[in-house]
Amino acid sequence: MGSDKVFKHESVQDSSSILKFLDAVRDGFASGTLVLAAGDKELDFTPQGLVKFAVEAKRKDDRCKFSLKFSWKEEEDSDKDQDQLEIRSE
């Protein structure tokens, strides 16, 4: 979490391949581990908590664009070690 890493990949794929990628994203969110890899580049995520989800779609003449964007904050290790607040009456 201390360093910035960027993963970018762009390619032309058929619908079957896109479905496999979308299934992998779904499975990654379900399991809590999402890994992006191409060649010697790899970036792994542990999606947790609330996730911001954005959709953008455009059509201009015969060109279409459809984007899905997910973002969340990863917990800092120091936050995990803090005692949880407890309030009670006796």
| pLDDT at position 21 | 95
Domain spans, the chain: 15-75
Residue whose C-alpha is closest to residue 74's, from 26, 24, 27, 5: 5
What are the C-alpha distances in Å from 20 to residues 2, 16, 23, 88? 31, 7, 5, 49
Tell which wins on pLDDT, 80 or 40: 40
**Residue 81 — φ and ψ, nearest 5°?**
-85, -10
The mean pLDDT value of the chain amounts to: 88
In terms of pTM, does the model score above 0.85?
Answer: no
